[in-house]
Structure 1
Amino acid sequence: MGSKNEIVYIVDDDPIIRDALSSLLRASGKDVRLFGSGIEFLALKRDDIAACLILDLKMPGMNGLDVQKVISEQVSIPIIFITGRGDIPSTVKAMKGGAVDFLTKPVDETVLLAAVDQALQKDRLARLEALEHAELLSRYRSLTPREREVLPLLVKGMLNKQAAAELQITEYTVQIHRGKIMRKMKADSFAALVKMATNLSLEQSLAPSRDH
């Protein structure tokens, strides 16, 4: 079933195609928005909800691949390309650009509905992961500067005494920091903490640099 919290955008310069696709999707419970050109779609201030885009490949002016390129530089959205004729080079370029599917007109209704469901699911998961990452980053930013120094050393596998020597503090102080880090990061195990650090790429980008 469709959801009022999801939108399927359709961009096609042919009004007959737009209406046919819209009728099919609305009949399956989808919320649909129609556009006659890529420029018209790109000018839209999109709602902050899960969505996917059905995009015509061949359009006058800005074609589908042009639209895909602009979108890739902004907020991502799963794209399903449709075209009136097979075009292998364009298909390859579209898929390399991250397209979910590439369908040839006349589009099989069952195939299209399945592709839309897959695209919406992909966007739901991407949005969920983005929210989870933002929450994780918020937890990391709640750490003190010293705790941020201790954390990457621990997840590298250093013992408390090794981390203490590295930072020139006592082993007991490292133990205190470790407990606070676990609590602030909401990690129920050290393995969970390591996974969080990996997701944040702590060892590479967030680890504090040291001169010794």
Structure 2
Amino acid sequence: MKILAIADEESKYLWDFYERGKLEDIDLILSAGDLAPEYLTFLVTMASVPVLYVHGNHDDKYAYKPPEGCICIDDSIYVYQGVRIMGLGGSMRYRPGDHQYTDAEMDKRVKKLRWKLLRYGGVDILLTHAPAFEINDGRDLPHQGFRIFVKLIEKYKPKFFIHGHVHMTYGRTHKRYDKYKETHIINAYERCVFEYEADEKSLRESLK
């Protein structure tokens, strides 16, 4: 399965300079937040594949103008072709506003998903907006990662952890690719394509 991950900045290659065929080999699109709803609507129309998204800390407009034809997986586990995808959008709380959380508030969101995690036998892709604590995050509060994401990676060992929020234009300390224990980490800033193969266990779980 070929997956397009996007976040934070609309890709001119895909939007302003779109040409037919650029998305024909993409099987799934994952948005890690802070993108114009019109952009996601455009991609789901052009690609004719599911676009799954979580909210970024600047996605307040989604409340009255959500991306048409796309699927919000915030606080949920969505299974697509045997791949279990867990969505947890938002950033660390640094000012009043929606889609911002303290560490304790993010912990509560994860606890509400424990029965789904048990039902599906874990998760294959963790899709978030913010990074994990001390794994390519920022040391300033707005860009600091969540500690619970590290615990999720350590306990459930997802194959991929996809996030945005820390733009790669911020500096060389923010990597496109990294790895923590058994999990591949991808910073989805603008766009990134990766391959995923579902294993037999997750396929069985999705058919229950």
Question: TM-score w.r.t. structure 2 length?
Answer: 0.30
- The structure with the greater share of residues assigned to strand is 2
- Bigger Rg, which one: 1
Q: What is the TM-score normalised by the length of structure 1?
A: 0.29
Q: Indicate the structure whose relative CO is greater, using CA pairs within 8 Å and at least 6 residues apart.
A: 2
User: 1 or 2, which has the higher helix percentage?
Assistant: 1
